[in-house]
Amino acid sequence: MLLVLGFVITAGTVAEQKRPGTVKWVLNKECSLTVNGSTNINHFSCVIAHYNKADTISIGKGGGNDAVSLKGALILDILDFDCHNRMMTGDLRKTLKQKDFPQLKVSFIGLSRYPHFSDPSKAIRGFVDIELAGVVKRIEVNYKATFQNAGAFTLVGTQDVNFSDFNIIPPSRLGGMIKTNQLLNVAFSLNIKTID
């Protein structure tokens, strides 16, 4: 009996160690991207509420002990941004050079560890490349995982960026009386189903 129990524990440990190299994540339509910012008079929030593609992210072994590499991307249409104010939405699209660069791309590079159902509160860091307005910028992202079950979870990544990171001049109105601040908080929510 002890021999059988030992085999089960060992097999489970090996499976857990191999898991990141044998899994793909399927992104569903509930993925979203939110950009929060401010002007000298108020705050604003612009969102792409739904992701219309069924993309996958491949998981591989990373450079560190627990690290995993990621291969895949979110490709979002700038026209899908909604700032809940028509004038502000138009300003954002124009500022992001939507006519010349109609898409925003978030390419996933890696995570400090694989999200585990048994320990969702442990911090996860990672890197993504954001391509916006013709400029690619690599940023470090802080993630939080929320599990529905062992095979389905939400991974929310947040980080601050500046308009200037992408050679973008923040919009202004009324002859410069209303100025948008450089700092933006970017948050993307990935609704994920794992497949072997």
Pick the CATH number of 21-195 from 3.40.1390.10, 3.30.310.80, 2.40.128.110, 2.130.10.10: 2.40.128.110
Of residues 18 and 185, more confidence is placed in: 185
In tens, the pLDDT along 69-85 reads 999 998 999 999 999 98
- Quote the CA–CA distance of 165 and 162 in Å, as a whole number: 5
Residue 91 has pLDDT above 80, yes or no: yes
Residue 19 has pLDDT above 70, yes or no: no
- Quote the CA–CA distance of 43 and 73 in Å, as a whole number: 29
Q: What is the pTM of this model?
A: 0.81
Domain ranges (residues) in the chain: 21-195
Q: Give 188: exposed, middle or buried? Use CB within 10 Å, 0-12, 13-18, 19+.
A: buried
At residue 184 the predicted structure's pLDDT band, cuts being 50, 70 and 90, is very high
At residue 11 the predicted structure's pLDDT band, cuts being 50, 70 and 90, is very low
At residue 2 the predicted structure's pLDDT band, cuts being 50, 70 and 90, is very low
Neighbours of 136 (CB within 10 A): 11
Residue 121 has pLDDT above 80, yes or no: no
